[in-house]
Structure 1
Amino acid sequence: MSENRPNPEQIRQNAFENVQARDITIKNFNQSINLGKTSKAIGIPQNLPLSGVVKFVGRDEELQKLHQLLQENNQVAIAAIAGMGGLGKTELALQYAMTQHETYKGGICWLQPKAEDVGVQLVQFARTHLDLNPPEEFDLPAQQVQFCLRNWREGDVLLVVDDVTDYQQVKTYLNGLSSRFRVLMTTRQLLGASIKQLPLDVLQPDAALELLRSLLGETPERIERELDVANHLCEWLGYLPLGLELVGRYLARKDLSLSDMMGRLEKKRLDERALSKSKSDDDMTALLGVKAAFELSWQELTEDDQQLGCLLSLFAAAPIPWKLVEQCLPEEDEEDLEEIRDDHLLYLHLLQRKGEGIYQLHPLLREFFQSKLKSLDQVEKFKRSVCQVMVAVAKEIPDTPTLEEIKAVSLAIPHLAEVANHLIQYVSDEYLISPFISLGSFYKGQGLYTLAEPWYEQCLSTAQDRLGDNHPDIATSLNNLASLYYSQGRYDQAEPLYLQALELFKRLLGDNHPDIASSLNNLALLYNSQGRYDDDQAEPLFLQALALRKRLLGDNHPDIATSLNNLALLYNSQGRYDQAEPLFLQALELDKRLLGDNHPSVAQSLNNL
């Protein structure tokens, strides 16, 4: 037995009437409105596709800006929503058309260049929705398109051209438009300066969490129960709307905790099923999963473009100073690299410019390029090159960096950490501990001891794993960790490490080596801070360190000034001021002569005196 069902056009009509009833205006966009499915507005011809959005969030400012771009003058306005795949460009265009349908009483025509020639689609729309019948003798499609545009119904018109990959093909049909036409395009490309651009970025963290919560509407307690994990999940996805929607929909139909979902993503990365579209996601506006969406842009790249993208993925998910990239590819011409960067990666929104000379990959694009990197012949070369560049940066970070030095190197720190955590196997034994020491010094120099400690600990364990227990770098690692404990006043933990370092240095390097003097000096400082001035503790160690440094380094070396200063501090602590003063003066004079007047050591000497 059959039953009567409403036809699809009637369903679309009813849905759009619901949208009309919401009375949404440009002055008061609601960030979290759910406009439902589109349809044909009464008296306004349109062919908008169905929207699969559950709840539209986080794009209030973009909707307002878009309307301003399209309405700010009486000329033909052409604007483009531009950005990488997965940002929701199509959905934003669709939501704009739906909320602003009353503005465009002449109609809203949705065009898809990838499906069919734009001109053919325009003529089809005019025949179907405007009852226009171009003379058959007109050439198709150019003359028929011009006929339709000239005879279009009254009122402003919105032409939406979704996913433009070749603007010239679209531009052909835009010539001669009257001023009542507005053209809105979505594209992954960076179009010319004559086209008003609305660069689309990822969602803000709060909006991303709200989107995830909306997709789990029937079980919102899952978000509140694992709120920290939910925030981490949004961050891992880079706040990308496509990734958030796919994962949210996946969670909605699975009996799966957010922690388990996070674990699967971290294990399988972009190959995790939750990031691919399933049959149950056919109502989504987006047509592709995350990896498939990125693949479209990948296919537009040349081999050189692809290689540069893969190299960039070896840096951390943080702003990248371009000079570091150039240093990784010293054999490449700078202008050639700039051309790939600007005319290809930036053009396709695969790379973001974050400031002058600063660029960044989106976290999921970085994952994508890393997956492609595995199949490149240059993978080992690229990894070693990045490590060499970052080790060179590490060597420039002093043990006690100044504020100026900290500022100069701060952008490189995440990438140095990336090498230490994930690429250390490509660092030679000679420079194995350099990344860890420099990271520790960077944070210790700012008094951020809790951030410095893990790096010093990792330095020791990494050196032990590769070099064994009998290597000078083990002694250096012990000494640095002890120095951190000393700075924190954790003297009981510092002393055994200082003693181990001194014993190991003596056994491996002999008694006449600058590192022995440094160990003696550090141990003496510890004893001095503990008030252990006895003949067999602080003073003899300071004197041994000073004598050894003079013998090995001569009288004109900054370390001599350090030893003189430390010995003077000991005498000062004991009230032996007549002995302390000349040593303070000698240290100050030597620091000024060797380091100049503007150096932290000079300031320290002045303070001590």
Structure 2
Amino acid sequence: MRHGSPNFVGREEELADIHAKLQEGQGVIVCAVEGMGGVGKTELALQYATRYQQEYVARYWLSLREMGLAQAVVTLASPYLDLPEAMQSASLDEQAAWCWQNWLPQTGKLLVILDDVPKAESIPDVAMPIDPRVRVLVTTRERELNVGFESVPLDVLSEEKALELLRKIVGASKVDKELVTVKEICKTLGYLPLGIELIGEYLSKNRHLSFAKLQERLNLADESIARERKYRFYAHRGVEAAIQLSWDDISTGSQGVAMLLGLFAPVEILWELVAKIGASAEITEDELDEARGQLDSLHLIQPIDEECSFYKIHTLVRDFFRAKLSKAEENHQFRRAFVTSLIALAKEIPETPTRDLIARVAFTIPHLDMLSREMLDDIPNPEEDLTWAFIGNARFYEGQGFYALAEDPYQRCLKAMQELLGERHPSVATIINNLAGLYDSQGRYEESEPLLKQALSLRQEFLGERHPDVATIINNLAVLYSSQGRYEKAEPLYKQALALRQELLGERHPSVATSINNLAELNRLQGRYEEAEPLYKQALALYQELLGERHPYVATIINNLAGLYGSQGRYEEAEPLYKQALALRQELLGDHHPDVASSISNLAGLYYSQGRYEEAEPLLKQALALMQELLGERHPNVATIINSLALLYRSQGRYEEAEPLLKQALALMQELLGERHPNVATSIHNLAFLYSSQERYEEAEHLYVKALEIMEVLLGMEHPSTKTVRNNLQSLRDIQN
């Protein structure tokens, strides 16, 4: 939570009014009279959060200057919450609602501050935390937001309070000595807290300066500014004059750093990022350190944490810095450094970012997003680098399952690349492929397939049939078909992609390992275990060599290999691998992640296969609870675990507990996967087996026949699962005869 200014005065009545209104209703709007900036709306919210912090178990700050509420909520939550797969295809508003539901404390009140809301549409109802424990404090320049909250209009300071603020900063004796002049200065500043604080801090650093001399300088600055442009509010001209005084008081090097700061998005700024971009702009470390001290001491930037790692800049000050840069000879140099540095950081974000990387790059994302909206013309080599202005953000969100947030930069990237390069270009094909992959992850197969085919056609046209990028799309199309259970269409594409990658990239390459793993997984799904095992081992060895021992891909293959051994009854080999995969996933992804729940479920399934029911049951219940929490009640993975728990009960003779679970799992599978899918056939078979165990032969036979029909078509006559169903059906008929 951000800290307020130590110079706060003059708003005691407003603070009390806000608190009283928040006890009566959910929200309060602090709005500026006449929509004026600089009256202290944000500062008032900060002071309220600090003064009444004991009233709330948690306080969240969301700035809505550059984004809507839903995006702000999801972005803020992303380092702390793993979005469940069931929510990954939901709308952005629905994802925000899920974040609130899983973010709220169990007991006590929560304070949510929505800062600088531009319009009512920025606060959609579905993205709001509608809960009696939540209190919402909104700041805005708009007089009428019409969101059903109580309003606290905020005017400029009274003359008395303005003088009180100056006394607090520079001392009462200095103010009272030249009281008439001080009053004139306050009037020039429009009694805006921002202007008065700037003047006060300026005088604190120039103690020898009288208010009379200050007024002369302020008037000169004001006259100069008045000639340059017109202002909607006279007070803003006075504030800019105050900023100009501080500007003239700092070194040329500090002015350069200030102009660079004007390029950043209007959010909290990590100084480490400023230093990185500053080095690229040929600003020395000494200049950065000097500027940091001078700008802070004059209140032009303000630290928001005790370590001074992050700084905030008032909107009016930021606008001043940007205006100075636009006229400076450093403009091109600084903009180029800003863009190239952020593009370089975007290129470091992989397709599967770990939690540590997400935490490290999170504070870069708002600035990269602003770059993609406002600074595309400053990219030196747009044909190569323009896409990275968008892809960095898309990967950041997609890697966490925030697909609704990832879709927007991909869509904007596609439009920008088509405008730059035309409809038919290899780079355009890359973005189409990325967008198709996003839809595939969301289960939007009907939208994904034509995009993949379009991307493949484009790449083959411009790159030829034999190119790594062509192999990538062929592989992705195979993944799509495999996800749909269309194995006969997936297999030749997997083999084609693997052969191309081996030829073009060599035998030792991560993409080759991916293709080998995909082919192994397809063989396992088809029951061709002897073909799958050496492929899994080959892919695992490659990943370990190329990516290291501790990587999510490595954990996935270890888990898959354990599953293969479990299917073959090689339980002693499977168990340590399942445990190894689980430990890796917990380390890399955290305890609350769908892959972790899958690993727990897989280990439970192994114990079940060994008849270790007492060990299996608590693990299945743990995995089910975790899956339901992360993915929601209606998800194929949830249905799979419900089915596994039902099988456990059936094996223990607990038929009354097993039957409703089997029916629930089957209904979920049919709803989510369709009537003709291998997993649906398996669920039908399991229910048939239960009926057979209960001597409900007619019901069992009907289901066996239905399951066998689906499996023979989808998996083939010789698949182990098909043979199992056929044998069970024959045994049932033998019993009846």
Bin the TM-score by the shorter chain: 0.5 to 0.7
Q: Does 1:276 align with 2:234?
A: yes
Measured against aligned partners, the alpha-carbon deviations of 1:222-247 in whole angstroms (never above 9, x if no partner) come to: xxxxxxxxxxxxxxxxxxxxxxxxxx
Residue aligning to 2:287: 336
Measured against aligned partners, the alpha-carbon deviations of 1:279-310 in whole angstroms (never above 9, x if no partner) come to: xxxxxxxx964434433323333433322211
- The one-letter amino acid paired with 1:349 is H
Q: Does 1:584 align with 2:543?
A: no
The question of whether the paired residues in 2 share the 8 Å contact of 1:29 and 1:60 is answered with: no
Would the alpha carbon gap of residues 309 and 88 (structure 1) be closer, same or farther in structure 2, given more than 3 Å must change?
A: farther
Q: Does 1:396 align with 2:348?
A: yes
- The one-letter amino acid paired with 1:477 is I
Please report how far the alpha carbon of residue 520 of structure 1 lies from its aligned counterpart in structure 2 after TM superposition: 0.7
- The one-letter amino acid paired with 1:568 is A
Please report how far the alpha carbon of residue 64 of structure 1 lies from its aligned counterpart in structure 2 after TM superposition: 9.2
Aligned counterpart for 2:481 among listed residues 505, 527, 546:
527
The question of whether the paired residues in 2 share the 8 Å contact of 1:350 and 1:361 is answered with: yes
Measured against aligned partners, the alpha-carbon deviations of 1:90-110 in whole angstroms (never above 9, x if no partner) come to: 865656899xxxxxxxx9995
Q: Does 1:436 align with 2:395?
A: no
The question of whether the paired residues in 2 share the 8 Å contact of 1:567 and 1:583 is answered with: yes
- The one-letter amino acid paired with 2:389 is P
Higher Rg of the two aligned structures: 1
Residue aligning to 2:548: 596
The question of whether the paired residues in 2 share the 8 Å contact of 1:113 and 1:164 is answered with: no
Q: Distance in 2 between matches of 1:172 and 1:372?
A: 26
Residue aligning to 1:363: 315
Measured against aligned partners, the alpha-carbon deviations of 1:189-220 in whole angstroms (never above 9, x if no partner) come to: xxxxxxxxxxxxxxxxxxxxxxxxxxxxxxxx
Indicate the structure with greater helix content: 2
Please report how far the alpha carbon of residue 168 of structure 1 lies from its aligned counterpart in structure 2 after TM superposition: 8.4
Measured against aligned partners, the alpha-carbon deviations of 1:366-406 in whole angstroms (never above 9, x if no partner) come to: 12211222211221221111001001101100011111111
Would the alpha carbon gap of residues 589 and 339 (structure 1) be closer, same or farther in structure 2, given more than 3 Å must change?
A: same
Q: Distance in 2 between matches of 1:386 and 1:521?
A: 36
Residue aligning to 2:457: 503
Q: Distance in 2 between matches of 1:571 and 1:462?
A: 41
Residue aligning to 1:456: 410
Aligned counterpart for 2:444 among listed residues 483, 490, 493:
490
Please report how far the alpha carbon of residue 569 of structure 1 lies from its aligned counterpart in structure 2 after TM superposition: 1.7
Residue aligning to 1:425: 377
Task: Describe the SS at the equivalent of 1:346.
Answer: helix
Q: Distance in 1 between matches of 2:470 and 2:531?
A: 25
Please report how far the alpha carbon of residue 326 of structure 1 lies from its aligned counterpart in structure 2 after TM superposition: 3.1
Residue aligning to 1:308: 257
The question of whether the paired residues in 1 share the 8 Å contact of 2:205 and 2:298 is answered with: no
Would the alpha carbon gap of residues 168 and 412 (structure 1) be closer, same or farther in structure 2, given more than 3 Å must change?
A: closer
- The one-letter amino acid paired with 1:495 is E
Task: Describe the SS at the equivalent of 1:332.
Answer: coil
- The one-letter amino acid paired with 2:286 is E
Q: Distance in 2 between matches of 1:439 and 1:585?
A: 34
The question of whether the paired residues in 2 share the 8 Å contact of 1:476 and 1:501 is answered with: yes
The question of whether the paired residues in 2 share the 8 Å contact of 1:475 and 1:504 is answered with: yes
Please report how far the alpha carbon of residue 482 of structure 1 lies from its aligned counterpart in structure 2 after TM superposition: 0.4
Would the alpha carbon gap of residues 529 and 54 (structure 1) be closer, same or farther in structure 2, given more than 3 Å must change?
A: closer
Residue aligning to 1:383: 335
Measured against aligned partners, the alpha-carbon deviations of 1:386-439 in whole angstroms (never above 9, x if no partner) come to: 001001101100011111111111111111111111111111221110121111
- The one-letter amino acid paired with 1:529 is S
Q: Distance in 1 between matches of 2:525 and 2:161?
A: 70
Residue aligning to 2:429: 475
Measured against aligned partners, the alpha-carbon deviations of 1:32-73 in whole angstroms (never above 9, x if no partner) come to: 589xxxxxxxxxxxxxxxxxx9999769779999xxxxxxxx
Q: Distance in 2 between matches of 1:57 and 1:392?
A: 38
Q: Distance in 2 between matches of 1:399 and 1:519?
A: 15
Q: Distance in 2 between matches of 1:389 and 1:558?
A: 27
Q: Distance in 1 between matches of 2:203 and 2:461?
A: 70
Would the alpha carbon gap of residues 116 and 390 (structure 1) be closer, same or farther in structure 2, given more than 3 Å must change?
A: same
Report 1:70-85 matches (<5 A). Answer: none
Aligned counterpart for 1:350 among listed residues 284, 300, 304:
300
- The one-letter amino acid paired with 1:276 is Y
Report 1:249-260 matches (<5 A). Answer: none
The question of whether the paired residues in 2 share the 8 Å contact of 1:275 and 1:291 is answered with: no
The question of whether the paired residues in 2 share the 8 Å contact of 1:506 and 1:516 is answered with: yes
The question of whether the paired residues in 1 share the 8 Å contact of 2:166 and 2:200 is answered with: no
Q: Distance in 2 between matches of 1:417 and 1:405?
A: 18
Task: Describe the SS at the equivalent of 1:470.
Answer: coil
Q: Distance in 2 between matches of 1:54 and 1:550?
A: 63
- The one-letter amino acid paired with 1:438 is G
- The one-letter amino acid paired with 1:449 is Y
Q: Which runs of 5+ in 1 are unaligned?
A: 1-25, 35-52, 66-85, 99-106, 118-161, 174-184, 189-269, 278-286
Report 1:218-257 matches (<5 A). Answer: none
Residue aligning to 2:640: none
Task: Describe the SS at the equivalent of 2:311.
Answer: strand
The question of whether the paired residues in 1 share the 8 Å contact of 2:258 and 2:291 is answered with: no
Q: Distance in 2 between matches of 1:97 and 1:431?
A: 50
- The one-letter amino acid paired with 2:375 is L
- The one-letter amino acid paired with 2:346 is A
Q: Distance in 2 between matches of 1:97 and 1:328?
A: 36
Task: Describe the SS at the equivalent of 1:518.
Answer: helix
Q: Distance in 1 between matches of 2:365 and 2:46?
A: 33
Q: Distance in 2 between matches of 1:439 and 1:497?
A: 21
Q: Distance in 2 between matches of 1:580 and 1:503?
A: 31
Q: Distance in 1 between matches of 2:346 and 2:259?
A: 23
Report which stretch shifted further, 585-594 or 514-523: 585-594
Task: Describe the SS at the equivalent of 2:400.
Answer: coil
Q: Distance in 1 between matches of 2:408 and 2:49?
A: 42
Report which stretch shifted further, 383-392 or 589-598: 589-598
The question of whether the paired residues in 1 share the 8 Å contact of 2:15 and 2:48 is answered with: no
Q: Distance in 2 between matches of 1:168 and 1:358?
A: 23
The question of whether the paired residues in 2 share the 8 Å contact of 1:398 and 1:441 is answered with: yes
Task: Describe the SS at the equivalent of 2:372.
Answer: helix
Would the alpha carbon gap of residues 519 and 376 (structure 1) be closer, same or farther in structure 2, given more than 3 Å must change?
A: same
Task: Describe the SS at the equivalent of 1:598.
Answer: coil
Measured against aligned partners, the alpha-carbon deviations of 1:69-94 in whole angstroms (never above 9, x if no partner) come to: xxxxxxxxxxxxxxxxx996986565
Would the alpha carbon gap of residues 110 and 553 (structure 1) be closer, same or farther in structure 2, given more than 3 Å must change?
A: closer
The question of whether the paired residues in 1 share the 8 Å contact of 2:243 and 2:317 is answered with: yes
Task: Describe the SS at the equivalent of 1:359.
Answer: strand
- The one-letter amino acid paired with 1:352 is Q
Task: Describe the SS at the equivalent of 1:299.
Answer: helix
The question of whether the paired residues in 2 share the 8 Å contact of 1:523 and 1:538 is answered with: yes
Would the alpha carbon gap of residues 90 and 456 (structure 1) be closer, same or farther in structure 2, given more than 3 Å must change?
A: farther
Q: Distance in 2 between matches of 1:169 and 1:300?
A: 9
- The one-letter amino acid paired with 1:111 is D
The question of whether the paired residues in 2 share the 8 Å contact of 1:460 and 1:477 is answered with: yes
Would the alpha carbon gap of residues 97 and 544 (structure 1) be closer, same or farther in structure 2, given more than 3 Å must change?
A: closer
Would the alpha carbon gap of residues 448 and 347 (structure 1) be closer, same or farther in structure 2, given more than 3 Å must change?
A: same
- The one-letter amino acid paired with 2:176 is L
Would the alpha carbon gap of residues 582 and 393 (structure 1) be closer, same or farther in structure 2, given more than 3 Å must change?
A: same
Would the alpha carbon gap of residues 461 and 112 (structure 1) be closer, same or farther in structure 2, given more than 3 Å must change?
A: farther
State the TM-score, normalizing by the size of structure 2: 0.48
Would the alpha carbon gap of residues 60 and 520 (structure 1) be closer, same or farther in structure 2, given more than 3 Å must change?
A: closer
State the TM-score, normalizing by the size of structure 1: 0.57
Please report how far the alpha carbon of residue 510 of structure 1 lies from its aligned counterpart in structure 2 after TM superposition: 1.4
Q: Does 1:111 align with 2:62?
A: no
- The one-letter amino acid paired with 1:299 is D
Would the alpha carbon gap of residues 168 and 579 (structure 1) be closer, same or farther in structure 2, given more than 3 Å must change?
A: closer
The question of whether the paired residues in 2 share the 8 Å contact of 1:521 and 1:545 is answered with: yes
Would the alpha carbon gap of residues 562 and 89 (structure 1) be closer, same or farther in structure 2, given more than 3 Å must change?
A: farther
Q: Which runs of 5+ in 2 are unaligned?
A: 1-8, 18-38, 53-154, 183-198, 215-227, 562-737
Would the alpha carbon gap of residues 89 and 363 (structure 1) be closer, same or farther in structure 2, given more than 3 Å must change?
A: farther
